[in-house]
Structure 1
Amino acid sequence: MTNEELQSLTEEISVRLFQKPFKHIAFFNPRLRTTGGRYMLSSHNIEINRHYYDQHGFDELAGIIKHELCHYHLHIEGKGYKHGDKDFKILMHKVGAPRHCSPLKEGKKRNTSLKSYFYKCLSCGQGYRRQRRVNTKRYVCGKCSGKLEEVLKIAE
């Protein structure tokens, strides 16, 4: 789906469900990662995360557009457009917009190649696990102020 098709779909949903025109721009924003879409208060544009369309299909995309159009029309009218506002909840129920998106199947991949460093106090035996290396000449034990020694480096 292109941005032009998204724009025409958004305009069509707006007229059909809200009986009001959508006069601004709707487009796919490739930088969105954690949300299905967002309504921009300053420009009145709607940005959509393409990954939701790719993974969940047209119905999920239509739901995201409905949700963002609820923000859009209520904000334009000067009513409560935030998630907790009564006007927003009533309009969402009226048009059948979802409160949340379905989760994406492939989440953000964590870097599993992080190293761990383990330090031990020579005086009291207190152990410390760190992801970053500690300068043992500069830092001391937080419990007794004793000297620290690197015991082992763990590559996970």
Structure 2
Amino acid sequence: MNLTNYVKQVSLEDFGWEFRHQAFWNKRLRTTGGRFFPKDGHLDFNPKIYETFGLETFRKIVRHELAHYHLYYQGKGYRHKDREFKELLKQVDGLRYAPGLPAKKLKLHYQCRNCCTDFYRQCRIDLKRYRCGRCKGELHLLK
């Protein structure tokens, strides 16, 4: 799917206004569905939202970002707190907040041999180099 063409299509169908800039996938986005950049007018979207929730939810996020875009270029209130933004978002049935993505599961469980404090990590740590933050005790990996 060509993202910029899709955003242009949504803009014409749902707003009746033309989208004249570029849209990009941004894999670094974690908690947000998309971003609007007033400086150069481009939009960033989170590909994980599209992969996880599908096209219907993603289209609502595109509408949200296009609401920012169109209101900014019309000289109206384009921020989340502005009345014009809230009204336009309601008219086009856009999402106010991005749905939460499932959190990464913490895979490794370490425990201090001295005070039994638990530590959860995604990456392995060097047990010879790191100690417990509470008591400076030795850590070991639990399975």
TM-score, normalisation: structure 1: 0.70
Rounded Cα–Cα distance in structure 1 between residues aligned with 2:83 and 2:49: 27
Question: What is the CA-CA distance between 1:63 and the residue it aligns to?
Answer: 0.6
Cα 1:71–1:113, aligned 2, differ >3 Å: closer, same or farther? same
Cα 1:75–1:149, aligned 2, differ >3 Å: closer, same or farther? closer
Instruction: Kindly indicate whether residue 69 of structure 2 is the aligned counterpart of residue 72 of structure 1.
Output: yes
Cα 1:94–1:113, aligned 2, differ >3 Å: closer, same or farther? same
Q: Is the Cα contact below 8 Å between 1:116 and 1:155 reproduced in 2?
A: no
Instruction: Kindly indicate whether residue 116 of structure 2 is the aligned counterpart of residue 112 of structure 1.
Output: no
Rounded Cα–Cα distance in structure 2 between residues aligned with 1:110 and 1:134: 18
User: What is the 5 A alignment of 1:49-88?
Assistant: 49-88=46-85
- Which residue of the partner structure matches residue 13 of structure 1? 10
Give the total of aligned pairs: 132
> Secondary structure of the residue that 2:109 maps to in structure 1?
coil
The one of 37, 46, 50 aligned to 2:43: 46
Instruction: Kindly indicate whether residue 28 of structure 2 is the aligned counterpart of residue 31 of structure 1.
Output: yes
Cα 1:80–1:117, aligned 2, differ >3 Å: closer, same or farther? farther
**For residue 108 of structure 1, what is the amino acid of its counterpart?**
K
- Which residue of the partner structure matches residue 122 of structure 2? none
| RMSD over aligned Cα atoms | 2.8
- Which residue of the partner structure matches residue 123 of structure 1? none
Q: Is the Cα contact below 8 Å between 2:49 and 2:58 reproduced in 1?
A: yes
For structure 1, list consecutive stretches of 5 or more residues without a partner in the other structure: 120-128, 136-147
Q: Is the Cα contact below 8 Å between 2:78 and 2:85 reproduced in 1?
A: yes
TM-score, normalisation: structure 2: 0.76
Rounded Cα–Cα distance in structure 1 between residues aligned with 2:66 and 2:76: 13
Q: Is the Cα contact below 8 Å between 1:39 and 1:45 reproduced in 2?
A: yes
Cα 1:59–1:130, aligned 2, differ >3 Å: closer, same or farther? closer
